[in-house]
């Protein structure tokens, strides 16, 4: 399973997602153009020393990502037609998330095998990107038995 961030804009979100991915043993694809410089100190601050543990691939364009990354593409979007909690994830899925301000481009919608949403109360527009990734990844790993084993001395 992998996380794909399409043209992310906020380095703190990406840092938090890289930390999450490192802790869960999941790779991350960053698809450009990025809305920040990859060496941004805010990204490093949010990711802390976990960035060195993260499996990160950068792709200059959407097409470069498509050429390099196989797997079923599952897009999380406010325009999704079904809940992420009613979907059967597979271990090889690529969970795609669009930019914080604009969402995913049309090409990502067209390439997605499924377009999912996270249920929210009426009137709420969207979740923070890092929170949306965490909720979706947690459900996907739960379904596929992909959660890492927890040692007794580990704490949240």
Of 72, 84, 71, 92, nearest in space to 1 by CA: 92
What 3-state DSSP class applies to 154?
coil
Domain 2-143 has CATH 3.90.76.10: no
- The residues, any chain, with a CB within 8 Å of residue 107's CB and separated by 6 or more, are 62
pTM: 0.91
Per-residue pLDDT of 101-120, as tens digits, reads 999 999 999 999 999 999 99
Count CB atoms within 10 A of the CB of residue 71. 15
Considering only the C-alpha atoms of the chain, give the largest distance between any 2 of them, rounded to a whole number of Å. 45
Residue 6 has pLDDT above 90, yes or no: yes
Per-residue pLDDT of 14-58, as tens digits, reads 999 999 999 999 999 999 998 877 776 776 776 677 788 899 899
| Residue 116, Cβ density class (10 Å: 0-12 exposed, 13-18 middle, ≥19 buried) | buried
Beta-sheet pairing, 56-59 with 82-83 = unpaired
Residue 153 has pLDDT above 60, yes or no: no
Cα separation, 83 vs 132, whole angstroms? 12
Question: What is the per-residue pLDDT for 49?
Answer: 75
């Amino acid at each position: 399973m992998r996380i794909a961030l399409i043209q992310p804009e906020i380095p703190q979100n990406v840092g938090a997602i890289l930390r999450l991915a490192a802790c869960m043993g999941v790779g991350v694809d960053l698809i450009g153009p990025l809305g920040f410089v990859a060496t941004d100190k805010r990204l490093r601050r949010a990711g802390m020393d976990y960035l060195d543990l993260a499996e990160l691939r950068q792709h200059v364009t959407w097409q470069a990502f498509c050429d390099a990354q196989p797997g079923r593409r599952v897009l999380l979007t406010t325009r999704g037609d079904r809940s992420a909690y009613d979907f059967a994830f597979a271990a090889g899925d690529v969970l795609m998330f669009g930019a914080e301000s604009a969402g995913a481009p049309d090409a990502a919608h067209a390439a997605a095998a499924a377009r999912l949403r996270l249920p929210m109360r009426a009137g709420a527009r969207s979740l923070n990107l890092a929170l949306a990734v965490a909720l979706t990844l947690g459900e996907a790993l739960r379904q596929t038995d992909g959660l890492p084993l927890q040692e007794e001395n580990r704490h949240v």
